[in-house]
């Protein structure tokens, strides 16, 4: 039987505003299995990115919890959650989030060095070659195209072999053809590494390539369904 890697339990998030309390998410519940790919879809402002931040433990819920690879995230303090993320979670963002003063290789090495890996350079070099950037190791982000920067971000995310990869609109800054190539690479790496992929996207065509769809409607309704074959 497949192992549950992410369990979201009665998750609720609300914030105070001028009118009182604004409810962003309400009683969200689902489980994701190891190696599964899932797309979170919904209209702008529906709570998709908030849900992703809660799954990562980057935000805290008003009630409920998230169990990540057997660990209740919100039973941990902020430092403990950060340490768990470093071990278990990779991130890919729309804006790449590369460090401008580091080369492409150094950006990929960084999470390995923070984890104390002695083979950081060799492992990062191998991953850069895997994403087709073996000739760009010494290039700084400003010298790379958007597609190349996102491939560096993918290499950095997968190099630590995370249990979970969280991607927030990873093709949002790319043209269609480049976005297609990046997504194909992401799904290939996901299959190779057996990672649980959680992808926030507004693109239904990308979403339907995932094994499951989660539709958030104004944070109040959650539909979990198998994606079309």
> Is 93 contained in some domain?
yes
> Residue 11: inside a domain, yes or no?
no
Residue 93 banded pLDDT, cuts 50, 70, 90:
confident
50 within a domain of the structure (yes/no) = yes
Query: Which CATH number goes with the domain that contains 107?
Result: 3.40.50.300
Q: Judge whether 46 and 101 are in contact, CB under 8 Å.
A: no
- The span from the CA of 110 to the CA of 99, in Å, is 10
- Reported as a pLDDT band with limits 50, 70 and 90, residue 5 is very high
* Residue 156: pLDDT over 80: yes
Query: How far is it, in rounded angstroms, from Cα 13 to Cα 11?
Result: 7
Per-residue model confidence as pLDDT tens digits over 157-212: 999 999 999 999 888 888 888 989 889 999 998 899 999 999 998 888 889 999 99
Whether residue 151 is contained in a domain is answered as yes
Tokens at residue 13, please? 């998030």
- In whole angstroms, give the CA distance from residue 157 to residue 173: 18
pLDDT confidence bin for 1, thresholds 50/70/90: low
Show the tokens assigned to 136. Answer: 């760009």
Parallel, antiparallel, or unpaired for β 20-33 and 4-17? antiparallel
Does residue 95 belong to any structural domain of this protein?
A: yes
Say if 20 falls within a structural domain: no
Range of the domain at 88: 36-60+75-226
Domain total of the chain: 1
Q: Is residue 10 part of a domain?
A: no
Q: Residue 68: beta bridge partners?
A: 6, 71
Q: What's the pLDDT tens digit per position in 96-124?
A: 899 999 999 999 999 999 888 999 999 99
Provide the strand spans (E) within 69-109: 71-72, 89-93
Q: Is residue 210 part of a domain?
A: yes
């Amino acid at each position: 039987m497949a192992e549950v890697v992410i369990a979201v339990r009665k998750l609720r998030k609300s914030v105070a505003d001028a009118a009182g309390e604004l409810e962003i998410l309400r009683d969200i519940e689902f489980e994701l299995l190891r190696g599964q790919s899932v797309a979170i879809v919904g209209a702008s402002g529906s709570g998709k990115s908030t849900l992703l931040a809660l799954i990562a433990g980057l935000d805290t819920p008003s009630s409920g919890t998230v169990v990540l690879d057997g660990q209740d995230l919100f039973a941990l303090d902020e430092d403990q959650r950060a340490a768990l993320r470093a071990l278990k979670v990779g991130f890919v963002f729309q804006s790449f989030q590369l460090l401008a003063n580091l080369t492409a290789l150094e950006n990929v090495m960084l999470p390995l060095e923070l984890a104390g890996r002695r083979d950081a350079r060799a492992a990062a070099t191998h991953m850069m070659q895997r994403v087709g950037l073996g000739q760009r190791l010494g290039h700084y982000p400003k010298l790379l195209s958007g597609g190349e920067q996102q491939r560096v971000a993918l290499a950095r995310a997968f190099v630590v072999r995370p249990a979970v990869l969280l991607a927030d609109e990873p093709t949002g800054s790319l043209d269609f053809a480049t976005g297609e190539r990046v997504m194909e690479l992401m799904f290939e790496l996901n299959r190779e590494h057996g990672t649980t992929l959680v992808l926030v996207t507004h693109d239904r065509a990308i979403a339907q390539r995932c094994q499951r769809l989660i539709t958030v409607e104004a944070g109040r309704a959650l539909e979990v369904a198998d994606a079309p074959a």
